[in-house]
A = this chain, B = another copy of it.
Amino acid sequence: MTVLKALREVLPGESFLYLGDTARLPYGTKSPRTITRYLQQNVSFLKSVGVKAVVVACNTASTVLKEAHLNGLPVYGVIEPGARAALAGTHAGVIGVLATRATVHSGAYEQALLAIRSDVHVVQQACPLLVPLVEEGWAHDPVTETVLHRYLTAPLEAHVDTLILGCTHYPVLKDVVQKMAGPTIRVIDSAHALAYEVAADIEAGRIPANGDGGGIQVFTTDISPSFQQLGSHILAPHAIDSWELADIRGD
């Protein structure tokens, strides 16, 4: 939803179809083999309902994304845009990555950063409690500050000057991370970087432009009132036009 919000802001004329695979969340604890299978099923579903491009708005799922096309559709992950935005501003060349255990384990950000600039030093930190803290609605809470303080210790001791929020839940925590990291550290979320890259591809004609007014339809793979509540809250002031159940088998 944080990625959808960025896309909505950058591309006000486009329509969005959001698929939340709530029946099989979280992806952060699953193996690459399983995540790849889920990703292919999800893209097939999106193709069947007629989208023109797919954004994989999840860092863990983005780590298994090896191609720029899936099922004949252009497909975007969040890793490379985040890496490019981090490199664009680092002076020290020391970049921290906060992410789920699976994203850290994949080394995807480190690889993406080093592929562009081989002399940067990357400090990865797995933060498995941040997603449940956001989902509990405790983003602005002393408990979250205590947990963040612990997660930030290693990156700050390594003197990072840039911190990548390597999970699409974390933009909700951006101001808290910024406060705890201090004003000299740049905090990067991939969502806006990605949205500008999609906008550039539409501008260049690599994806046809819509300009049809811009609705938001949401599909989920399970009924989830708490997801509906949190999703609407994150997306506000932008409204969701419809919520439907997507029957993605097989599970």
Contacts and interface: CB of A to CB of B under 8 A. Distances in A.
Contacts of A136: 128-129
A29 B25 contact: yes
A30 B224 CA distance: 7
Interface string A98-114: 00010000000000000
A249 interface: yes
Interface residues of A, number: 32
A136 to B, nearest CB: 5
Given A146-B143, A250-B250, A223 B24 contact: no
Interface string A70-114: 000000000000000000000000000000010000000000000
A226 interface: yes
Contact of A251 (B129, B135, B250): B250
A132 interface: yes
A154 interface: no
Given A31-B223, A129-B138, A250-B251, 12 more contacts: A22-B29, A22-B30, A23-B31, A23-B34, A31-B224, A34-B222, A38-B251, A128-B136, A129-B133, A142-B146, A143-B150, A250-B250
Interface of A: 22-25, 29-31, 33-34, 37-38, 101, 128-129, 131-133, 135-136, 138, 142-143, 146-147, 150, 222-224, 226, 249-251
A146 to B, nearest CB: 6
6 contacts: A128-B135, A129-B138, A132-B132, A143-B146, A143-B150, A251-B251
A30 B34 contact: no
The winner among A31, A37, A131 for most chain B CB atoms within 10 A is: A31
Contacts of A22: 29-30
Contact of A146 (B23, B128, B135, B146): B146
Contacts of A135: 128
Contacts of A38: 251
